């Protein structure tokens, strides 16, 4: 967070224009490239402390590992001044190990947020770390001091945990010639995480432990690529992957679909989230279903049925059919008929956020539509910022900066970057399995996850998300999973859990408990420990 970066999700050259503009509004501040540290200061290091969380006595290892880009050859490493020109990354992590546990029977889970450009402060301080910052359920958190408590929902009862900051975020740094090209992109980022995981397994002797990935937001496409690389390039099979707030095919994003005319899926996939949001804010008309599960089922059916057929007709849609679709969209979204008609039946995420409560000059959240805030520009077409990001970012950042230095004893005289403007350099081109070169255009890593599942037919997937998430609408994940190019028999390896929360499911206390129980149960049922 500002999770506008975590969920920035630029789609293609055209869609990136909209997403980047939104991020600039949300974040402000210096967008210049980060200074390049002297690689002589890069070294593997760690600080070890002790603690207890959720009934588990643990050792906490806060440290860094050194990773190199894919074409780096340690046998031909240049010497002298040339050495400083080679791109290099120092990746920061915090690992929590249960004291006295047998590594052969103790799972280890690698967790990371997304962005691209986000550190993992959010999952660390909001979800599964031993300490958790408490924020209001759907309102702006008061300024410091923030309430940090022992986390009864820490996942340490089920697995050892490794929270990892992507290169250029948190305490992770990059340096060397063409450093951005070496680490900022779909494929180089995934390679850095793949190398980090291999080094970590070697450093701590965890090669034979049950292994899991937990990625949130952009962390979900990262997990798809990393899982495939681990299996096919490094012979490392995973027991499972947990995907929170998924986006694998960026053509489906609700951000800026108007720049990709002819592709109407984003409008269909976002519609159930619009309905859930209107239900939450009591904006649905009297003829709409009152029961939440009934509402969601009806909207999903309409979105993929009547609505899909109407959008496919384009300009051939007849006036009577158009009038009927407008009436149903009004029933499911609460938006005025005239606005739906003027939008040509197609409302993107930013427009919905701005206009649901528009008459009151109130903007609803993007990451979590339960949140609202004053509209910055009443005359704007779409939302100017994300109220949830504004509401909780200070609490998470302040709490972690205090915790990492005072409790974990790491980071003095270092600047922690909760997010960084990596989208300025990010290369969304991706080389899917089986192709000789990267594809240009919108990123789609569905083939990578499918390939990983076929390469390892025992790999299990847990898909989780929030009904009130417009950054990565929950139904997008469902649609993607149902369209993975895998044999029908492998669909049984995928399970689903959704919650009445937003992008950061864990920001809602009851949903955090439910999320913990689902993930712990998933790990317990797939770790092959008897």
Write out 195-210 in H/E/C secondary structure.
Answer: HHHHHHHHHHCCCCCC
Q: Do 150 and 61 share a structural domain?
A: yes
Give me the helices (H) in 263-333, please: 265-280, 292-304, 306-313, 319-333
Confidence of residue 391 (pLDDT cuts 50, 70, 90): very high
Residues 60 and 208 in one domain: yes
**What rounded mean pLDDT belongs to the chain?**
90
3-class state of residue 37 by DSSP: coil
Burial label for 112, CB within 10 Å (0-12, 13-18, 19+), is buried
Whether residues 238 and 328 share a domain: the answer is: no
Question: Based on the domain organization, do 287 and 369 belong to the same domain?
Answer: yes
Residue 357, φ and ψ in degrees, nearest 5: -110, 25
428 and 475 part of one domain:
yes
pLDDT tens-place string over residues 346-385: 999 999 999 999 778 999 999 999 999 999 999 899 999 9
pLDDT at 82: 56
Structure-token match 């050259």, residue found: 13
397 occurs within a structural domain:
no
Q: Please, what is the Cα angle at 190 between 188 and 194, to 5 degrees? A: 115
Q: Please answer whether residues 89 and 174 qualify as being in contact, where contact means their C-beta atoms are separated by less than 8 angstroms.
A: yes
pLDDT-based confidence at residue 23 (cuts at 50, 70, 90): very low
Same domain membership, residue 236 and residue 271 = no
| 159 assigned to some structural domain | yes
Sole residue written with tokens 């503009």 = 21
Which of 388, 406, 437 terminates a domain? The answer is 388
219 shares its domain with 102:
yes
| pLDDT exceeds cutoff 50 at 345 | yes
User: What is d(CA 212, CA 485) in angstroms, rounded to the nearest whole number?
Assistant: 22
The answer to whether residues 188 and 303 belong to one domain is no
- What CATH number is associated with residue 81? 3.40.50.1820
Provide the pLDDT confidence category of residue 441 given band limits of 50, 70 and 90: confident
Q: Is residue 410 part of a domain?
A: no
Neighbours of 316 (CB within 10 A): 7
Q: How far is the C-alpha of 339 from the C-alpha of 346, rounded, in Å?
A: 10
**Quick check: 223 and 428 in contact, CB under 8 A?**
no
Distance CA 44, CA 58 (A): 21
Residue 3: is its pLDDT beyond 60?
no
Tell me: do 196 and 128 sit in the same domain: yes
Cα–Cα distance for residue pair 5/114, rounded to 1 Å: 8
Do both 445 and 335 map to the same domain?
Answer: no
Distance, CA of 248 to CA of 40 (rounded, Å):
37
Q: What is the pLDDT of residues 46-88, one digit of tens each?
A: 999 999 998 999 999 999 999 998 877 665 555 555 555 788 9
Same domain assignment for residues 367 and 463: no
High-pLDDT (> 70) share of the chain, %: 90
Neighbours of 431 (CB within 10 A): 14
Domain count, the chain: 2
pLDDT at position 44 is 80
Residues of the domain holding 87: 3-251+421-526
The pLDDT value recorded for residue 80 is 54
The answer on 281 and 177 residing in a single domain is no
**pTM of the predicted protein model:** 0.91
């Amino acid at each position: 967070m500002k999770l506008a970066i975590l969920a920035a999700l630029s789609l293609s050259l055209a869609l990136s224009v909209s997403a980047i503009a939104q991020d600039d509004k949300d974040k402000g501040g210096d967008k210049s490239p980060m200074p390049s540290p002297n690689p002589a200061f890069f070294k593997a290091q760690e600080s070890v402390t002790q603690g207890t969380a959720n009934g588990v006595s643990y050792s906490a290892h806060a440290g860094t590992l050194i990773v190199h880009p894919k074409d780096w050859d340690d046998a031909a490493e240049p010497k002298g001044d040339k050495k400083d020109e080679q791109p290099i990354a120092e990746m920061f992590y915090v690992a929590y190990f249960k004291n006295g546990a047998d590594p052969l029977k103790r799972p280890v889970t690698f967790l990371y947020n997304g962005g691209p450009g986000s550190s993992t402060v959010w999952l660390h301080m909001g979800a599964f770390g031993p300490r958790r910052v408490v924020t209001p359920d759907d309102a702006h958190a008061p300024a410091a001091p923030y309430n940090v408590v022992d986390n009864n929902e820490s996942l340490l009862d089920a697995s050892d945990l490794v929270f990892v900051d992507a290169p250029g975020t948190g305490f992770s740094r990059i340096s060397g010639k063409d450093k951005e090209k070496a680490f900022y992109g779909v494929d180089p980022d995934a390679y850095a995480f793949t190398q980090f995981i291999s080094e970590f397994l070697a450093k701590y002797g965890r090669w034979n432990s049950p292994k899991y990935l937990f990625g949130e937001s952009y962390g979900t496409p990262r997990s798809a690529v990393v899982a495939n690389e681990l299996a096919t390039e490094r012979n490392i099979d995973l027991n499972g992957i947990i995907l929170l707030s998924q986006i694998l095919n960026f053509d489906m994003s609700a951000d800026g679909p108007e720049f990709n005319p002819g592709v109407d899926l984003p409008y269909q996939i976002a519609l159930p989230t619009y309905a859930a949001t209107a239900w939450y804010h009591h904006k649905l008309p009297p003829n709409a279903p009152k029961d939440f599960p009934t509402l969601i089922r009806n909207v999903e059916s309409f979105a993929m049925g009547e609505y899909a057929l109407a959008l496919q007709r384009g300009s051939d849609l007849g006036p009577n059919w158009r009038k009927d679709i407008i009436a149903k969209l009004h029933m499911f979204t609460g938006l005025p008929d005239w606005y739906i008609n003027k939008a040509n039946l197609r409302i993107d995420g930013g427009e919905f956020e701005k206009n649901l409560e528009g008459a009151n000059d109130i903007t609803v959240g993007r990451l979590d539509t339960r949140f609202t805030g004053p509209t910055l520009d009443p005359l704007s077409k779409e939302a100017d910022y994300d109220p949830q990001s504004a509401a909780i970012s200070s609490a998470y950042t302040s709490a972690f900066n205090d915790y990492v230095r005072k409790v974990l004893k790491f980071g003095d005289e270092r600047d922690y970057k909760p997010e960084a403007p990596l989208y300025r350099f990010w290369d969304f081109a991706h080389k899917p399995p089986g192709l000789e070169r990267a594809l240009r255009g919108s990123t789609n890593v569905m083939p990578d996850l499918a390939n990983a599942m076929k390469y390892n037919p025992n790999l299990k997937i847990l898909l989780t998300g929030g009904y009130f998430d417009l950054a990565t609408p929950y139904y997008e994940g469902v649609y993607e999973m149902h369209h993975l190019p895998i044999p029908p028999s492998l669909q049984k390896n995928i399970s689903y859990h959704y919650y009445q929360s937003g992008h950061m499911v864990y920001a809602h206390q009851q949903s955090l408990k439910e999320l913990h129980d689902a993930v712990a149960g998933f790990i317990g049922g797939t770790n092959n420990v008897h």
